[in-house]
Structure 1
Amino acid sequence: MKTNQAKKRESSQQYKVIEEAELLPFLLKNMKKNSRNSVKSILTRGQVFVDGRSITKHNYKLHVGQQVEILSNKTALNESMITGLTILYEDDAIIVIDKEAGLLSMAAKNKDEKTAFSEVSSYVKKQNPKDRVFIVHRLDRDTSGVLLFAKSEEVKMKLQDNWEEMAKERIYTALVEGNVKREKGTVKSWLKETRTFKVYSNPTDNGGQLAITHFRKVRHNQRYTLLEIELETGRKNQIRVHMEEIGHPVVGDKKYGSSVNPLKRLGLHATSITIVHPVTAEVMKFETEIPSAFINKAL
């Protein structure tokens, strides 16, 4: 993330702070031609810089003499990228990102390897060296999409301890092999991981974890099907195992039965998550665009 911008960018607006205020009210006062929702979106997308530093907190405290700059959406997109991810939303309690495929969520064996956790942690420390982040859930290295972080251990525990109630909806998009005949369906089984770290599915309780996956066909051709998948439970490798079980493995997933790799990556994307905010109790939905390569392969 670029944190120091010495000169005014093209396609930007600048305002001088003449009295102390919180950032969102300041923007609403100075951007009267924009609706409240529009201003909030501009702030959330990372288009607002204070003294050259990207700020997304609505209640960020402004001081007299500071410079506030609002970038055009295109310029902001170019500057809001951290390696391998984009910040979708941030407040005092949580950070939501869009993770690229190929980036580990955390805990890399190679200590020098960048992870989503290390990148987000570095980002918050640039704003305040004492700030920390805590990962709430994980995505496989080769799965892209929405990933949630907490800004305190208390918030992390509240989310994790009540995950089934707090996570109202989790939607994924999967590109799978073959033409799935059913328009929609549900896979229910018990999943158990072996010592070789492969997860196996069993139709009856084998001492593993109950896993329930709902799927809906979006589009297809004879080679591939694009599925919208809703998780009722969130087990390790759940979607990948269940897609293999119905005879249509996720493309690029050699571990779970795929023999093709047309995307040069795993055909799995965490499209959206709807949660109850751990502090405000507001129901919030965070979503990303489905990778165009997924859609094109199923045309």
Structure 2
Amino acid sequence: MKPLDKENSHRVLYIDNHILVIVKETNIPTQSPDKVSCKTCLNSLEDLAKDFIKKKFHKKGKVFLHPIHRLDRNVTGIVIFARTSKALSRLNEQMREKKILKKYIAEIEGKLPQKKASLKDHIVHLSHIAKIVKKEHKNSKLAILNYEVIKEKRDSSILEIELITGRYHQIRAQLSNLSHPIIGDKKYEAKKNLDKIHLSCFYLEFIHPVKKDLLKFQIKPSF
């Protein structure tokens, strides 16, 4: 992912003194996995966003910036960052109370018999993978999403998904559990492995943490 300069400024959907809303491309984590900070490294979306703010507003010191939610490395879509501690606290509260509406577009292998449904599973986070398990399984958590088939192709289907709970790899695991994995998602039994799986957080809706306006953002997935 290239630096957020003038050529790539279209990826910045909204910015003010309190929040930053930005489009994440594939093959970059939302946050750097390295615990040791690197002042000159741009290893994550957070690093790139901090670099962008530093240059745009000519900031000399550290930049306060925290993601409100995260997308997997090979998933694209909209990400909200808080620019102040007040915004961070209030947006985290919205997340806890499920007041931030997140919708995804996914292209899956094959065709689903039910064109619209709610998936309720119990999921457990193992080492770098999520697994659907029985309710009685130790450490399992309830995972819920709603989906609707919006287009069918010859060998695939495109779904619009509303994420009700935000579990680790939830969408990927639940669709794979139906034997209809996301295209390119080899980790979850897809036929082919792609750097960019066909999953994107294309719509976000939330209340501005300070101004209290209802904000809506939508992008068009590249698949």
The TM-score range, normalised by the shorter chain, is 0.7 to 0.9
Cα distance per residue 1:3-34 (max 9 Å; x no partner) = xxxxxxxxxxxxxxxxxxxxxxxxxxxxxxxx
CA RMSD after TM alignment: 2.0
Specify which of 50, 73, 88 is matched with residue 156 of structure 1.
88
Please tell me the residue identity of whatever aligns with 1:132.
F
Residue 219 of structure 1: CA displacement? 0.8
Residue 224 of structure 1: CA displacement? 0.8
Q: Which residue in 2 is equivalent to 1:188?
A: 120
Contact in 1 for aligned 2:181/2:190 (Cα 8 Å): yes
Contact in 2 for aligned 1:189/1:210 (Cα 8 Å): yes
Q: Which residue in 2 is equivalent to 1:102?
A: 27
**Do residues 123 (structure 1) and 48 (structure 2) align?**
no
Residue 176 of structure 1: CA displacement? 0.6
Moved more, 157-166 or 229-238: 157-166
Specify which of 258, 263, 266 is matched with residue 190 of structure 2.
258
CA 1:108/1:273 → structure 2, altered by over 3 Å: closer, same or farther?
same
CA–CA separation in structure 2 for the residues paired with 1:254 and 1:199? 13
Q: Which residue in 1 is equivalent to 2:8?
A: 81
Cα distance per residue 1:38-79 (max 9 Å; x no partner) = xxxxxxxxxxxxxxxxxxxxxxxxxxxxxxxxxxxxxxxxx2
Number of matched residues?
212
List alignment gaps of at least 5 residues for structure 2.
Answer: none
Residue 289 of structure 1: CA displacement? 1.1
Please tell me the residue identity of whatever aligns with 1:273.
L
**Do residues 289 (structure 1) and 216 (structure 2) align?**
no
Please tell me the residue identity of whatever aligns with 2:48.
E
Contact in 2 for aligned 1:188/1:203 (Cα 8 Å): no
Cα distance per residue 1:111-167 (max 9 Å; x no partner) = 545310001001111212344211111100110010010001232122123314364
Please tell me the residue identity of whatever aligns with 2:30.
S
Contact in 2 for aligned 1:213/1:230 (Cα 8 Å): yes
Moved more, 229-238 or 153-162: 153-162
Contact in 2 for aligned 1:167/1:273 (Cα 8 Å): no
**Do residues 278 (structure 1) and 209 (structure 2) align?**
yes
CA–CA separation in structure 2 for the residues paired with 1:270 and 1:249? 17
Contact in 2 for aligned 1:166/1:275 (Cα 8 Å): no
Cα distance per residue 1:81-104 (max 9 Å; x no partner) = 16xx81000111100001111121
Name the TM-score, length of structure 1 as normaliser: 0.66
CA–CA separation in structure 1 for the residues paired with 2:100 and 2:12? 21
Q: Which residue in 1 is equivalent to 2:150?
A: 218
Contact in 1 for aligned 2:105/2:199 (Cα 8 Å): yes
CA 1:204/1:166 → structure 2, altered by over 3 Å: closer, same or farther?
closer
CA–CA separation in structure 1 for the residues paired with 2:131 and 2:90? 30
